[in-house]
Chain A
Amino acid sequence: DSGVTQTPKHLITATGQRVTLRCSPRSGDLSVYWYQQSLDQGLQFLIQYYNGEERAKGNILERFSAQQFPDLHSELNLSSLELGDSALYFCASSYSLTGEIDEQYFGPGTRLTVT
């Protein structure tokens, strides 16, 4: 158990809908990262927040957005869902921003199925 929690574990929804994925980082960790893992694209970095502020952006679609709240939990919002958005979404957390290897601890993921 990494100490990172994600809810829900599974989500099935229809095209065009909007969903919110939630992540609680490990106690004391200030950075939260979101990743998408699909069979054809592998594990792709979406976005990072550090202590409430956006710090890095990866291959995140405009239909997707995220935020980190004062209690450090984070939410990833996915809207106008398409079939291709079906994937595993992982949240990871770490203590610091950058620097030497800063181990990212991954949560168990949310499996999103868009039908």
Chain B
Amino acid sequence: QKEVEQDPGPLSVPEGAIVSLNCTYSNSAFQYFMWYRQYSRKGPELLMYTYSSGNKEDGRFTAQVDKSSKYISLFIRDSQPSDSATYLCAARDSSASKIIFGSGTRLSIRP
């Protein structure tokens, strides 16, 4: 079993829709949770991070972590074609710099 599981998609939604991306994890020691966005032929870039449980909002993006169910979510409001990319969830514990990535969900926003 992978430590961070993510549905690879692809996921295709119309412009303006609310997108929900989800991951589950198995390691209870994970305390930092991240979402990376990766455009085609580019390296991943950090989109959002949260520490422990709770929500974090940044513009159209909201990251949510539920440690009781080991569930990580990213919501994108008013989705734009420029949001089309692969989204990777990731996690690590507080003592290590090693990040465990999910396999990524390919998202396509249709104009």
Contact = CB atoms under 8 A, between A and B. Distances in A.
Interface residues of B, number: 22
B44 interface: yes
A45 B32 CA distance: 16
B31 to A, nearest CB: 10
Given A43-B88, A106-B43, A108-B43, A101 B51 contact: yes
A90 B36 CA distance: 14
Contact of B95 (A33, A44, A98, A105): A98
Interface residues on A, range: 20 to 34
A93 to B, nearest CB: 11
Interface of A: 2, 4, 31, 33, 42-45, 48, 55-56, 58, 90, 92, 94, 97-98, 100-109
Contacts, number: 55
A31 B98 CA distance: 12
Given A42-B88, A42-B101, 15 more contacts: A2-B43, A31-B97, A42-B104, A58-B98, A92-B43, A97-B97, A98-B96, A100-B51, A101-B51, A102-B97, A103-B46, A103-B49, A104-B46, A105-B45, A109-B43
A98 B36 CA distance: 18
A43 B102 CA distance: 8
Nearest to A41: B103
Nearest to A4: B43
Contacts of B95: 98
Interface string B74-111: 00000000000000100000111111111110000000
Nearest to B101: A43
27 contacts: A2-B45, A4-B43, A33-B97, A42-B88, A42-B101, A42-B102, A43-B44, A43-B88, A43-B101, A45-B99, A45-B100, A48-B98, A55-B97, A56-B96, A58-B98, A90-B44, A92-B43, A98-B94, A98-B97, A100-B51, A101-B51, A102-B97, A103-B46, A104-B46, A105-B45, A106-B44, A108-B41
